[in-house]
Amino acid sequence: MKKVISLFSLLLIAALITSCSGTQQISGVTTNYKIGSGDLNVKLLNEAILQKIIPGLEFKIIAELDNQLAYDAKNLDIVITGLEPSYFQVYPLEQKITLLQGKSITNPAGDKEIIEFSGNAGSLVKSAQYYANKYLLQINYDSAMEFQDTVCINTDLYGVNDAGCKVQDKLSYPGQGAVLAVSKMEQVVIPGSSAGMQFRIFLTNRGQGELKKVTLDKSELGGEALDCKFQGEIDKPLEYDFKDKQTVLLLCDAAVSEQISYQTILALDFSYHYKLNKKYQLKIVNPNAALVS
């Protein structure tokens, strides 16, 4: 009877751990949403129709925003830019969405939202068969990313003090379910009177847009705060604007003096602002040409 109770307790604990870690188990298959790459997917639902707009008639631009991140997208600002107003009068040119929830145990598909922009088409100049206008659908939003891994703390460069865990000096990762990803990490032992370790964390933009501002909100090793800074940042060491870069380096120092190796959790939390530009085209066509095609 005691063995049955113990087995039940272990299963209960395992279920609680799974529910708290962002994973889902269905029919024996465990889903971890915070692994791999995620993105905010954007598409026009009526793109073909927008290539055959009749002069003088109304039309709609209908866009779908699909949050495939493992995190919420917040403060979404959707703006149309680049239209020639004499040919295309679109209103509103800007729309806002407060929140699109990301993929999770309670929302495995992520949130979707459809937005509409209404427009009026102008007239073609005499004898013109069509007028095409390329434009941008620009989406700005805020989101987050969390990283955790179990690391070995061992300042013994020669491995003579104990037979415990060994430092893995280079690690690679598939991503954490966001456009911002910890792609690699290097763990370096710093010898000296107060031996320590440095974690060199490579952050990569795996989305189709621009990382405008990345902020390190939390950095802990075994529950203790780490001393971190983005490489090259002086005034704001915990913030970084990727601009045109795909990868940047975060340096985190840990003061550890134990001679016996042990394993512990490295945890980092980030927030970021993202800008996504999607290129599309509107086309006014001569009614006769539209009928023929």
What are 128-141's pLDDT values in tens digits? 999 999 999 999 99
Which has the higher per-residue pLDDT, 287 or 73?
Answer: 73
Instruction: Work out the mean pLDDT of the chain and round it to a whole number.
Output: 87
Span 36-142+276-292 CATH architecture = Sandwich (2.60)
Q: What is the pTM of this model?
A: 0.84
* 244-268 mean pLDDT: 89
What type of residue sits at position 130?
Answer: Y
Question: Helix, strand or coil for residue 53?
Answer: strand
In this prediction, residue 55 carries a pLDDT of 96
Count of other CB atoms within 10 angstroms of residue 260: 11
Whether the predicted pLDDT of 271 surpasses 80: yes
pLDDT score, position 162: 57
> Are 38 and 180 a contacting pair, CB within 8 Å?
no
**Cis peptide bond upstream of 92, omega within 30:** yes
Q: Within the chain, which residue ranges are assigned CATH 2.60.40.10? A: 36-142+276-292
User: Assign residue 105 a region: left if phi > 0, alpha if psi is -120 to 50, beta otherwise?
Assistant: alpha
Mean pLDDT across 105-111: 95
Name the burial class of residue 9, with classes exposed (0-12), middle (13-18) and buried (19+) by CB atoms within 10 angstroms of its CB: exposed
* Four-way CATH pick for 144-274: 1.20.1530, 2.60.120, 2.60.40, 1.10.10: 2.60.40
Q: What is the pLDDT of residue 5?
A: 40
Q: Summarize pLDDT for 153-174 with one digit per residue, the tens.
A: 887 766 555 567 888 889 999 9
% residues pLDDT > 70 (the chain): 83
